[in-house]
Amino acid sequence: MDYETLKTDVADGIATVTISRPQALNALNSRFFQEMDALIAEIAHRDDVRVLIITGDGKAFVAGADIAEMVSMTQDQAREFSKRGQKTFRSLELLDRPVIAAVNGFALGGGCELALACDIRIASAKAKFGQPEVNLGVIPGYAGTQRLPRLIGLGNALYFLLTGEMIGAEEAQRLGLVQKVVEPDQLLPTAVAMAKTIASKGPKAVKLAKQVARRGLLADFDAGCALESETFGTLLEKEGAEGMRAFLEKRPPKWDN
């Protein structure tokens, strides 16, 4: 599929996707969601992609949803626009490959929500994060009110949701919103190096580690532990056996896709 809002590149098991509407600071519109849905479905069926990196074109990661598209929406249209974004970001969250957000600039509103739906967030030292929707008299619509408290705690999340304050990359890292902060020119090299490290590991183990952690987060502790044990046993008999033999034989493991 040819994309209007996305630039894609696949190399060495890593798909890099750049959101490219720089004239609108990469604001999210209906076309973006259509294309991102198609991209997620494509990656889910590609054996040559083990890690996905998402970044932005220009000075923004994503500066928010497209206000010009939203301003004249009816209540019903706005509800559906919210549900559309929630569906896309949930699909990204449930993708069986790790997703790294390489946040190059403004990640505000829907852009922050997109970053929250990724598994790991690396930020440029110039990146800015925030949920400023209350400034416009609305609230986040792409599950920001649900993911943010789960990630940084209710008090911190409500502070940002209620004040609309924008924070820098170092503060975002302190709160646990971001895992790593690097200089702007090192953002993509760092993301790619991290993706290569992940791609070198047992592919089934990587997929299932993400799945078990995310499912366990929404389950009670004992149910999560039961899922972990079941998955551990399944892997140990198959991919894990190769990994352990390779360790004992002091050789690189030979993973199956």
Q: Verify whether residue 170 is a known catalytic residue.
A: no
Angstrom distances, CA of residue 189 to CA of 102, 173, 184: 10, 19, 10
d(CA 19, CA 32): 8
With left for phi above 0 and alpha for psi between -120 and 50, is residue 64 left, alpha or beta?
left
SS (H, E, C) 2-31: CCCCEEEEEECCEEEEEECCHHHCCCECHH
45 torsion bin: left (phi>0), alpha (psi -120 to 50), beta (else): alpha
80 is catalytic: no
Distances (CA, A) of 62 to 7, 25, 105, 130, 143: 14, 6, 8, 11, 16
Q: Which amino acid is at 59?
A: K
Coil, helix or strand at residue 51: strand
Please say whether the beta carbons of 154 and 132 come within 8 A: no
Euclidean distance between CA atoms 190 and 9, whole angstroms: 17
DSSP, collapsed to helix, strand or coil, labels residue 121 as strand
Catalytic residue among 35, 93, 113, 239: 113
Catalytic residue among 42, 80, 133, 228: 133
* Residues labelled as active-site residues: 113, 133
